């Protein structure tokens, strides 16, 4: 049943990504951090432009919120759902926070750090292992991002 659950949470992340684009004109990436009890602990979307913060990626925003909710920098047993494969910064934050799983939609062919360009998250030298599941609703996730950039450039949507 994890597959259906993963898709449900990815759709939740899509809604957050839509909010990033609609309300803030940010690149539409959304993330939701879910505890082992399937409760939402943190939500985020890209806020780099709005917050004037290069570290305000969707994943980081969601993890910061979850840390405040839990009163802990460790997010043990949690799963992060994100619409785009995490970059190096976000991948290492997942390792440091001791997140159990990361589930992402679209692979990032430029800066992905969970198996596509880099595989930082799986480096055996880390003292914590994060399970990675990629490609959940990946075609839809990729199409959303492609259309965002095509619209910015005045090109037809796909």
* Range 64-67, long-range pairs (CB < 8 A, 24+ positions): 65/33, 65/41, 66/33, 66/41, 66/42, 67/42, 67/97
**Catalytic residue check, 59:** yes
Q: Which two tokens stand for residue 20?
A: 């990033």
CA–CA separation, 44 and 57 (whole Å) = 8
> Which residue in 26, 59, 65, 85 is the catalytic one?
59
- Cα–Cα nearest to 87, from 114, 122, 124, 127: 114
As annotated, the active-site residues are: 59
């Amino acid at each position: 049943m994890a597959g259906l659950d993963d898709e449900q949470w990815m759709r939740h992340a899509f809604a957050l990504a839509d909010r990033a684009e609609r309300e803030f004109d940010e690149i539409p990436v959304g993330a939701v951090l879910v505890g082992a009890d399937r409760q939402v602990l943190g939500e985020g979307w890209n806020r780099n432009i709005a917050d004037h913060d290069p570290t305000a990626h969707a994943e980081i925003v969601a993890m910061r919120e979850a840390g405040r909710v839990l009163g802990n920098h460790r997010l043990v047993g949690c799963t992060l759902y994100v619409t785009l494969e995490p970059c190096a910064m976000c991948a290492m934050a997942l390792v440091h926070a001791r997140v159990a799983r990361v589930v992402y939609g679209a692979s990032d062919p430029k800066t992905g750090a969970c198996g596509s360009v880099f595989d930082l998250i799986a480096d055996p030298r880390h003292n914590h292992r994060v399970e990675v599941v990629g490609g959940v609703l990946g075609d839809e996730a990729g199409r959303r991002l492609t259309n965002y950039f095509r619209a910015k450039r005045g090109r037809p949507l796909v």
